[in-house]
Amino acid sequence: MKKTPLLLLLLSITTSYAWALTAEEKGLQIAQKADRLDSGWGDQKQSMEMILRNKQGQESRRQIRGRSLEVIGDGDKALSIFDSPADVKGTAFLSFTHVNEPDDQWLYLPALKRVKRIASKNKSGPFMGSEFAFEDMSSQEVDKYTYKWLRDEQLDGKDVYVIERVPVDKHSGYTRQIVWGDREIYHPLKVEFYDRKNALLKTLVLFDYKQYLGKYWRPDRMEMTNHQNGKSTTLLFTDYVFNNGFSDRDFDRNSLKRAR
Amino acid sequence: MHEFERRFGELVIQYRWLVIIACLLLVGFMASGAKHLSMTTNYRVFFSEDNPQRMAFEALENTYTKNDNVMFVIAPEDGNVFSKKVMEAVYELTEKSWQVPYSSRVDSLTNYQHTEAEGDDLLVEDLVEDPALLTEERLAYIRQVAVNEPLLRHRLVSDRAHVTAVNVTVQLPGINEATETPEVVAFTRNLAAEIEAKYPFIKIYMTGMVMMNNSFSEASQNDMKTLVPLSFLIMMVMLLLMLRGFAGTALTMVVIILSVIAAMGAGGHIGYPITPPSATAPTIILTVAIANSVHVLVTFYHYMREGMDKIAAMIESMRVNLQPVFLTSLTTSIGFMSMNFSDVPPFNHLGNMVAIGVMMSFVLAVTFLPAVISLLPVKVRVHHEKGDRLMLSIGNFVVNNRRKLLPGMTLLVVVLVSFLPRNELNDVFLEYFDETIQFRNDTDFTVKNLTGMYLIDFSVESAEPGGISNPEFLQEVEDFANWFREQPETLHVNVFTDIMKRLNRNLHGDNDAMYKLPDERNLSAQYLLMYEMSLPYGLDLNNQINVDKSATRMVVTLRTLSTNQMIALEKRSSQWLQENAEFIKAAAASGPTMMFAHIGKRNIISMLAGTTIALIMISMILIIALRSFKLGLTSMVPNLVPAAMGFGIWGMLVGEVGLALSVVTSMTLGIVVDDTVHFMSKYQRARRESGLNSEQAVRYAFTSVGRALLTTSVVLIAGFLVLALSSFKLNSGMGLLTALVIALALIADFLLLPPLLMKLEEKSNEKDTAVAPAS
């Protein structure tokens, strides 16, 4: 996780200062607080089921196991192992999220028995044909966006802050995102994504946050709806496990082939 | 006799203020619906919700994505696309096209996702990352990649590299169709103008589905702006000639305008959109409904000249006209309402709006018109009109030559009808728009230089999840695509297997020998997974692969074809599938082009039923009205023969009938029947009331209604010829053929019907003279 200047950190603790801040400062402060509250988890793994639906009502499911390792000072490392559909079983995907440069991504293709690096600057396309772009799923670092606090309000009976964040990466598919964040746990409950022409493209809703290790909140379900093409994708998360003892060695090119 | 009619006329005059106010309130209420009228900008309006081709296409769109598009076709004046300056223009246009309202995807040479092997890496990047950095060497490389890439050649770049295109896919939400398309069109036209101004060495042409959709409303607007005023002008001149008075002309125009407003407003209340066919409703109502007022006024002036006072003359005119005017309005409305059988909703709308307009003009002609006239000072010179010499001589000619005319006319009819089968059901929907519509010119340029506007969409299905990675399935898809590429009609095939082959080569170090389909299912699936992860926003494969990866969309681009050629090609392709497909479980052809290819035939079949029912109803009405089974049945001859002759002449001179003409028969049926009604009712009155024999009755019919029939036919022909000037072929063809049929109807009523009546009554003549005439 990106270190934040000590002074700002201190400032953000004292929320009574909030009134004196500009909307931009307040937005950044919220993002930093959310980041701070969710740091220190070390590593985690989880299972994910992805359900794709088109406008015609057809459905398709994919199973993916994920492991991630918290990296202090940069984006996290993540490894995904595809279990189904059968023809991509054993395919493993390794990504190092970076804040200020394109992410590093490798894919192990068992049918080719080779690890291939995906050398592309542009990774804003859909992940496995879903309505999630890779940038929606990778670790959310503070410095990936600039922020602006919009307002506080209630969402489904919960107190939320509403902030707008603008991606720094010029290859992002979005002009901006609006985030409704839970003011108790500092996690997003809803995110709206605006496309390059600033039209509403997608809405993400996150459900059923549960707390792990008495501190870290993770959702059980995410629903992404594309308003322009009428398709939607559901992600169902299960079996969150923390403290797996992962190290960098579990997230390198060689680990891809071993991943089962 | 005619007690009801006389009483009705008296009441109208007695309560004239009430009548006027009630009429205006009724028209006002109906007209208030006009605010709901909006120009449609979607070709889909031509297809009913349950049209099978439309349903198939919408299922395909819901499975993949909608592919409505605007295509900018860029022609550099030096005939070379691959120069730095042109690439800069393409690059800028591509970037700015992402701002087009509702755009979801932009495809061009510069953002084409070029794949390359770099050691063990798969490099996926824009073909032109930064045009400022292009060297001659790099330009040559890009050219070589582009013109050899099956995804690009004949789609986004010509093989001579003299034109290129930027294709913008839009997803119109369809919430407000009247504004969405014009919004996109206005934006893209501005953008094209901006780019042309900045890069004066290129010319930009604009085509695509959105541009076509917009042309529908442009065509309607053109018609509304030019044809409606023109037909008003013509009708006014005609009225002045017929009525020889400004007051009557002005009043008739008021009645017609009120009828048009009421009918269009009623259409708005019902929720009809304005489409090119329904945009002709004002002109048609104007043309068809004018007769009602003319009949009432002509008779009224006649009795005043005979010396009656104003009120008495009007009541007498009502007495004489109420029934025939009602009957002709009714039959005309039935003819137009039979258009409800059409499978093409705009024709349903047109038919109903015209029917409402005609009935409205009847109501106004027998209420509002006499009420207002009774308030106006009307002066005519009293004199006894001389008999109509012209009509009398035609009558004499027909009577004297009846033994020659009957076989002669019958022969003419038979000869003309024998040409009827020469008509071939054929349409080129692109040619619905004539050259005054910019879209047509730009599309013609595009088809000539780059790619087509005619597409067939196939959802090629393997029927198993992930089946698109199955090598046998892929091989079949490629064979199918290659079969299409061999067809002379084909310009381009966009097929997923080309991507697979390219990836296979890339992942084997760009070895050209590996430019083939992967031979293992898992390999294809994993390539695909990898490729999908490398693509940027908006350039994904979701538009050609369905969610469970069981099917892929294949798009075949064709030259501009007629519907017959399209259907023939479709048959050949399904034949190929039948003989060769084992792993392809289904691949139905769909898309707008297929929809238009089938609509003509569907419409003709549906209109056959409509025409038959209209014919039966109209004949029954005539039998009841004439109180004679024989005369009612005889009337079918002059009612049907004109359309048959018209199509015969059409077959001789043109030979192609399309969507437009399939409604002409039922439409003209209701119109031409009016002449028959007038002629036969006069004939019959002469026989029954005055006890004349059939020859004398024919002479009487000629002198009493002959001129009226002639003038109303001239009015109708002129009105429909105005439609023939439409920039929209559906309307111009319909106008031309309708005018022809009406002219033929007049000939049939003058030269065929009387000899036929005299022939039929030859035997009963002697009998009838002995018996007192029935009343």
Lowest-pLDDT range of A252-256, B187-191, B554-558: A252-256
Chain A residues touching residue B63 (CB < 8 angstroms): 54-56, 58
pLDDT of the residue at B769: 45
- Residues B375/B376/B380/B384 CA torsion (nearest 10 deg): -30
Nearest residue, CB atoms, A114 vs list B64, B120, B126 = B120
Q: Which two tokens mark B412?
A: 């003419």
Residues B31-47: tens digit of each pLDDT: 999 988 888 778 888 89
The answer to whether residue A122 scores a pLDDT higher than 50 is: yes
Contact A66, A45 (CB under 8 A): yes
The verdict on a CB contact (< 8 Å) between B532 and A120 is no
Chain A residues touching residue B125 (CB < 8 angstroms): 120-122
The verdict on a CB contact (< 8 Å) between B100 and A112 is no
Interface of A with B in 143-202 (CB under 8 A): 171-173, 195-197, 199
Q: Which residues of B704-742 are buried (b: 16+ CB within 10 A; e: fewer)?
A: bbbbbbbbbbbbbbbbbbbbbbbbbbbbbbbbbbbbbbb
Question: pLDDT-based confidence at B767, cuts 50/70/90?
Answer: very low
Percentage of chain B modeled with pLDDT above 70: 97
pLDDT of the residue at A61: 92
Distance (Å, whole) CA B673 – CA A207: 70
Which secondary structure element, helix H or strand E, spans residue A217, and what is its range? strand A216-226
pLDDT of the residue at B608: 85
Distance (Å, whole) CA A55 – CA A95: 31
Query: How many residues appear in chain A?
Result: 260
SS3 B704: helix
Interface of A with B in 75-94 (CB under 8 A): 82, 85-88, 91, 93
Residues B348-358: tens digit of each pLDDT: 999 999 999 99
The answer to whether residue A10 scores a pLDDT higher than 60 is: no
Establish whether the linkage from the previous residue to B345 is cis, with ω within 30° of 0: no
pLDDT of the residue at B28: 95
Q: Alpha-carbon Rg of chain B, whole angstroms? A: 33
Chain B nearest C-alpha distance from A200 (Å):
10
Nearest residue, CB atoms, A54 vs list B63, B126, B533 = B63
DSSP for B12-49, written as a single string = HHHTHHHHHHHHHHHHHHHHGGGGG--B---GGGGS-T
* Most confident of the ranges A162-166, B295-299, B301-305, B613-617: A162-166
The answer to whether residue B456 scores a pLDDT higher than 90 is: yes
Distance (Å, whole) CA B81 – CA B646: 51
The verdict on a CB contact (< 8 Å) between A126 and B532 is yes
CA distances from A91 to A94, A245, B348, B371 (A): 10, 23, 57, 87
CA distances from B51 to B63, B111, B290, B761 (A): 18, 38, 36, 49
Distance (Å, whole) CA A65 – CA A81: 5
| Residue B164 DSSP class | E
The verdict on a CB contact (< 8 Å) between A122 and B536 is yes
Nearest CA in chain B to A232: B547
The answer to whether residue B143 scores a pLDDT higher than 90 is: yes
Chain A residues touching residue B533 (CB < 8 angstroms): 93, 105, 107, 118, 123, 125, 127-128, 134
The answer to whether residue B694 scores a pLDDT higher than 70 is: yes
Taking the Cβ of residue A53 and every Cβ of chain B, the question of whether any pair is shorter than 8 Å is answered with yes
Pairing type for strands A200-212 and A77-84 reads unpaired
Nearest CA in chain B to A118: B122
Question: pLDDT-based confidence at B773, cuts 50/70/90?
Answer: very low
The verdict on a CB contact (< 8 Å) between B62 and A86 is no
Taking the Cβ of residue A253 and every Cβ of chain B, the question of whether any pair is shorter than 8 Å is answered with no
Question: Rounded to two decimals, what is the model's pTM?
Answer: 0.86
Lowest-pLDDT range of A198-212, B241-255, B393-407: B241-255
The H-assigned helical ranges of B199-280 are 209-222, 228-243, 246-270
Chain A residues touching residue B532 (CB < 8 angstroms): 125-129
Residue in B593, B546, B543 with CA at minimum distance from that of residue B569: B593
SS3 A260: coil
The verdict on a CB contact (< 8 Å) between A118 and B124 is yes
Q: Which two tokens mark A213?
A: 């290790």
CA distances from B336 to A52, B266, B463, B726 (A): 49, 16, 47, 20
Size of interface A-B (CB pairs under 8 A): 161
Which secondary structure element, helix H or strand E, spans residue B179, and what is its range? helix B177-198
Q: Give the max Cα distance, chain B.
A: 112
Question: pLDDT-based confidence at B771, cuts 50/70/90?
Answer: very low
Distance (Å, whole) CA B205 – CA B199: 14
Out of 3.40.50.150, 2.50.20.10, 3.40.50.2000, 3.30.450.30, the CATH code matching A24-258 is 2.50.20.10
Looking at residues B611-616, what average pLDDT do you find?
A: 89
The H-assigned helical ranges of B401-437 are 402-418
Distance (Å, whole) CA B4 – CA B320: 11
Residue in A123, A87, A117, A90 with CA at minimum distance from that of residue A105: A117
Chain A residues touching residue B536 (CB < 8 angstroms): 120, 122-125, 171, 173
Contact A64, A50 (CB under 8 A): yes
The answer to whether residue B56 scores a pLDDT higher than 70 is: yes
Q: What is the Cβ-side half-sphere exposure of residue B400, based on CA atoms within 13 angstroms?
A: 6
Question: pLDDT-based confidence at B383, cuts 50/70/90?
Answer: low
The verdict on a CB contact (< 8 Å) between A127 and B99 is no
Distance (Å, whole) CA B605 – CA B658: 13
Residues B72-109: tens digit of each pLDDT: 999 999 999 999 999 999 999 999 999 999 999 999 99
> In a mutagenesis test of the B interface, which of A116, A138, A200 is the best target, namely the one with the most B β-carbons within 10 Å?
A116
The answer to whether residue B766 scores a pLDDT higher than 50 is: no
Say which residue the tokens 């292009």 belong to.
B134
The answer to whether residue A138 scores a pLDDT higher than 70 is: yes
CA distances from B587 to A100, A224, B573 (A): 47, 31, 10
Distance (Å, whole) CA A104 – CA A110: 20
Question: pLDDT-based confidence at A129, cuts 50/70/90?
Answer: confident
> In a mutagenesis test of the A interface, which of B469, B534, B549 is the best target, namely the one with the most A β-carbons within 10 Å?
B534
Contact B731, B660 (CB under 8 A): yes
Residues A70-96: tens digit of each pLDDT: 988 788 899 999 998 888 999 999 989
Q: Which two tokens mark A27?
A: 């937005």
Looking at residues B467-478, what average pLDDT do you find?
A: 95
SS3 B765: helix
Burial status of residue B42 (CB atoms within 10 A of its CB: 0-12, 13-18, 19 or more)? buried
Provide the mean pLDDT of chain B.
89
pLDDT of the residue at A123: 64
Distance (Å, whole) CA B502 – CA A218: 41
Q: Which residues in B451-550 belong to E strands, given as ranges?
A: 454-461, 490-494
The verdict on a CB contact (< 8 Å) between A111 and B526 is yes
Looking at residues A181-197, what average pLDDT do you find?
A: 94
Residues B479-525: tens digit of each pLDDT: 999 999 999 999 999 999 999 999 999 888 889 999 999 999 999 99
Distance (Å, whole) CA B223 – CA B434: 12
pLDDT of the residue at A43: 93
CA distances from B608 to B620, B639, B642, B730 (A): 18, 16, 16, 19
Looking at residues B53-81, what average pLDDT do you find?
A: 92
SS3 B118: strand
Chain B residues touching residue A124 (CB < 8 angstroms): 536-537
| Residue B584 DSSP class | -
| Residue B86 DSSP class | H
pLDDT of the residue at A5: 53
The answer to whether residue A17 scores a pLDDT higher than 80 is: no
pLDDT of the residue at A2: 44
Phi, psi of B588 (to 5 degrees): -85, 140
Nearest residue, CB atoms, B532 vs list A124, A128, A231 = A128
Taking the Cβ of residue A127 and every Cβ of chain B, the question of whether any pair is shorter than 8 Å is answered with yes
Distance (Å, whole) CA A172 – CA A169: 6
Nearest CA in chain A to B101: A197
Residues B623-662: tens digit of each pLDDT: 888 888 888 888 888 888 999 999 999 999 988 888 878 7
Percentage of chain B modeled with pLDDT above 90: 52
Distance (Å, whole) CA B146 – CA B156: 9
Distance (Å, whole) CA B722 – CA A136: 60
Question: pLDDT-based confidence at A233, cuts 50/70/90?
Answer: very high
